[in-house]
Structure 1
Amino acid sequence: MGRATPYLLILPSFLMAAFIILWPLYQIGTISVHDVNRFGMLRDFSGIANFQALFNDPDFIAALWRTLVWTAGVVIGTLVVSVPIALILNDDFHGRSLARVIVMLPWAVSLAMMAIVWRWALNGESGLLNSGLKGLSLINTNIEWLAQASTAFPMQILIGILVSIPFTVTIFLGGLSSVPDDLYDAASVEGASHWQQFRYITLPLLRPFINIAFVMNTINVFNSFPIIWVTTQGGPANSTDILVTYLYKVGFRFGKLGEASAVSIIMFALLLVFTIIYVRLAMREEKTT
């Protein structure tokens, strides 16, 4: 009984978590292999017909590749920007507490509200960005930032990076607080430069937290809906659609619930495969070090 006690204690929570995750997954999987009407009523079994319809749709393929670019751009950009910010906020300087509050403040604002503010700022006629660039004499005419894919999608990636910084910086600050100051003191005595201290002390000890931030941000950004939808709704001409906005359109605009469920299964599979591969690589790297 002694050895089984821990498993019995966690069994109720495990069963509840399994039910919350597996039951919706089962329902979505069932819908994805059936012909479904607009009201969600299952009709005939269709096998992989919904999946075939997706892969025959150029908009789905484009949204799939765009999702990969969106996720990679936002996650990598966030990590690159957040590390130096965390290093600065970890130093002891006058006003550090206020600086931390300013950096963390956007985290308290709804993501949809942030997207609305940025949509106003990027307005082609009266947006703050055009006004600021004109004031600096960098442009002569207004730019329709959200009216063309060549500018809309890069700006959406930039917004995604900005709104992801507070969460990522918080993780890195937690990691930096666990690094002993004695290591830096010893390195300074040995004549190590700031870059050498960062490369050989800070970065290796911060790597587990970078792994956590990478996985968490990837999952969050991959499934992020508000930024794309609020700013452009996937337009113009579906040129900024990612999988989650494509799913919304297919399911709720066109009433193709079977295909929408198939998109959900594909998204779940992609995230699951990515998480397993990355975690295994991270664990193998920790064992070798």
Structure 2
Amino acid sequence: MRSPLTNPYVLILPGFLLAAFIILWPLFQLGTISVNDVNRFGQLRGFNEFANYTAVFGDPNFLGALWRTFIWTGSIVIGALVISVPVAMILNEDFYGRSVARVIIMLPWAVSLTMTAIVWRWALNGEIGMLNSGLRTLGLIDQNIQWLARASTAFPVQIMIGILVTIPFTVTIFLGGLSSISDDLYEAAKLEGASRWQTFREITLPLMRPFLNIAIVLNMINVFNSFPIIWATTQGDPANSTDILVTYLYKLGFRFGKLGEASALSLMMFALLLAFTVVYVSLAMRKERT
């Protein structure tokens, strides 16, 4: 008779219960706070129905932050994918110094995201920043540009920084996928006279689809919740024009002391991200079956 201890579900049960507790208990606490009136010290002062949710939806800054979050997340994820695919394919080739090139690409991933953002803030300083200094030296500008002081330049620059810091992780995923593709397939395609574009379209891209899906989902989650870049460079300014949901959430909870509204927004962000992940993974799995 088979022992119950050899059942795989029994073996993973402790880890599953621990993970469920870590995830579900904070959600329960957030749900409780979000439907109560809360003071700045976190004390519940009574059930207020859904007033916190109504207050969040009624705040014009929320709608602006929501729209910018979609732009922020989509631009960085797409930009990182577009750049990382050719970079990974180049690094997958056999050439002299490939190991050094891989280390150079991966180095930014080893640096704290906050420190990277602070360095960029110094470089983008409107008066003494290296970017203005370099552009003036090249004769491209006549006067300093206030990169982070204007909404028209601050948010695009932050998106550019987000793409740069996302590339190392994405390239790592793609390198793992490329290394799993057999060289025999490329040799057969070469013998058949296939061009590099045909080889990429018919062999590389289809076999890389699972890794593309992983990169999209993980990057979407990371970028959606990415706090340091915007906070370390502009703190959502000027005039809240660079706020995304996560920085708007921080301001609600810790700057304005609106813990109830912050909890409501946290649950809304969790639901939004969970819905996207479930829908995307379902569509990706359906395409793989067909």
**What TM-score, normalized to structure 2?**
0.98
In the TM superposition, residue 3 of structure 1 has moved relative to its aligned partner by 8.7
- Give, as a single letter, the amino acid of the residue that structure 2 aligns with 1:82: S
Following the alignment from structure 1 to structure 2, what is the Cα–Cα distance between the partners of residues 2 and 137?
79
The residue matched to 2:147 in structure 1 has which SS?
coil
- Give, as a single letter, the amino acid of the residue that structure 1 aligns with 2:232: V
Tell whether 2:21 aligns with 1:26.
Answer: no
Counterpart among 263, 267, 270 of residue 268 in structure 1: 270
Q: How does 1:1-289 map to 2 (within 5 A)?
A: 2=2, 5-288=7-290
- Give, as a single letter, the amino acid of the residue that structure 2 aligns with 1:266: M
In the TM superposition, residue 133 of structure 1 has moved relative to its aligned partner by 1.3
Q: Which sections of structure 1, spanning at least 5 residues, go unmatched?
A: none
Following the alignment from structure 1 to structure 2, what is the Cα–Cα distance between the partners of residues 104 and 64?
31
- Give, as a single letter, the amino acid of the residue that structure 2 aligns with 1:204: P
Aligned residues: 288
Deviation per residue, 1:143-197 (Å, 9 max, x gap): 0000011100000000000000100000000000000001111111111011111
Following the alignment from structure 1 to structure 2, what is the Cα–Cα distance between the partners of residues 168 and 270?
23
In the TM superposition, residue 126 of structure 1 has moved relative to its aligned partner by 1.0
In the TM superposition, residue 123 of structure 1 has moved relative to its aligned partner by 0.5
Following the alignment from structure 1 to structure 2, what is the Cα–Cα distance between the partners of residues 16 and 114?
34
Deviation per residue, 1:34-88 (Å, 9 max, x gap): 0000000001101111010011100011001110110001111000010010001
In the TM superposition, residue 2 of structure 1 has moved relative to its aligned partner by 3.9
Following the alignment from structure 2 to structure 1, what is the Cα–Cα distance between the partners of residues 11 and 94?
44
Deviation per residue, 1:185-218 (Å, 9 max, x gap): 1111111011111111111111110100000000
Following the alignment from structure 1 to structure 2, what is the Cα–Cα distance between the partners of residues 75 and 252?
29
**What TM-score, normalized to structure 1?**
0.98
Deviation per residue, 1:88-134 (Å, 9 max, x gap): 10001111000000000011100000000000010111111111111
> Could you say if the C-alpha distance between residues 170 and 3 of structure 1 is closer, same or farther in structure 2, counting changes exceeding 3 Å?
farther
- Give, as a single letter, the amino acid of the residue that structure 2 aligns with 1:104: M
Following the alignment from structure 2 to structure 1, what is the Cα–Cα distance between the partners of residues 278 and 269?
14
Q: Which sections of structure 2, spanning at least 5 residues, go unmatched?
A: none
Following the alignment from structure 1 to structure 2, what is the Cα–Cα distance between the partners of residues 114 and 104?
14
Q: After TM superposition, what 4+ stretches of structure 1 lie above 6 angstroms from structure 2?
A: none
- Give, as a single letter, the amino acid of the residue that structure 1 aligns with 2:15: S
- Give, as a single letter, the amino acid of the residue that structure 1 aligns with 2:279: I
For the aligned residue pairs, the C-alpha RMSD in angstroms reads: 0.9
The residue matched to 2:103 in structure 1 has which SS?
helix
- Give, as a single letter, the amino acid of the residue that structure 2 aligns with 1:179: I
Following the alignment from structure 1 to structure 2, what is the Cα–Cα distance between the partners of residues 158 and 90?
25
> Could you say if the C-alpha distance between residues 2 and 155 of structure 1 is closer, same or farther in structure 2, counting changes exceeding 3 Å?
farther
Following the alignment from structure 2 to structure 1, what is the Cα–Cα distance between the partners of residues 208 and 156?
29
